[in-house]
Amino acid sequence: LHTSGWDIRETDPLPTPLFESVQTNGTKKEPRFAPPSNNIDVPHNFNDVTFHYTVSNTFGNGLSIQYRLIGVDNEWSEPVRTNKVTYDRLLKGEYIFVVRTTDGLGHHSDTSSLSFKVLPPWYQTAWAYLLYIVLILLFLYGVWSLILRRYRNIHLQKIRAREAQHLRLMNEKLIDEIKQKNAELVTQTSFIIQKNELILRIKDIIDDFCTTNNI
């Protein structure tokens, strides 16, 4: 195959792409660049990821690039002539980006791969879940405290109602006893008055008798 003066034989291996950098972008944020190493952690708010790579004399020899993001793409991309690939708004998870050179005749270079992980948003981190658990426990404790306080108040109200009823009954009993004593006292007083009247009447009769008989 002769292309632009270059002689590429079938047996000659195609040049392997080499990563230059990994760029991450976020909404209204300055882009960040990381060296091409595996196990890169990408913050969730910088989940627009661009891979920069280079291949020696690729476009001059009429070669193209194919790429694939394992975890997103099921197949290799169509051959393209570009030195960067961008994936926007990646979800949290682990990915592997692979890229290779192709001559369009079914020949491919060795692949270059780069693994990275998009971190979950702060509200899906382990610390956030721990905070949720603590908040739920505090909420349940608050609800339990309110329920306990309510039942305690109901119990106190019942005790106070029983005590008030007991005091009312005792008061009614005392009033009845006082009325009974007063009735007894009135009866005794009336008996004493009648007795005194009888004594006075007897005395008057005796006095009249003595006066009449000159005794």
At 76-110, the pLDDT tens digits run 999 998 899 999 999 999 999 999 999 878 889 99
pTM over 0.85: no
Lookup: tokens for 126: 């382990």
39, 43, 118, 100: CA torsion to nearest 10: -60
Averaged over 42-69, what is the pLDDT? 85
- How do residues 195-207 score in pLDDT, each as one tens digit? 888 888 888 888 8
Label the pairing between strands 112-118 and 40-42.
parallel
Distances (CA, A) of 116 to 24, 36, 69, 92: 12, 10, 11, 11
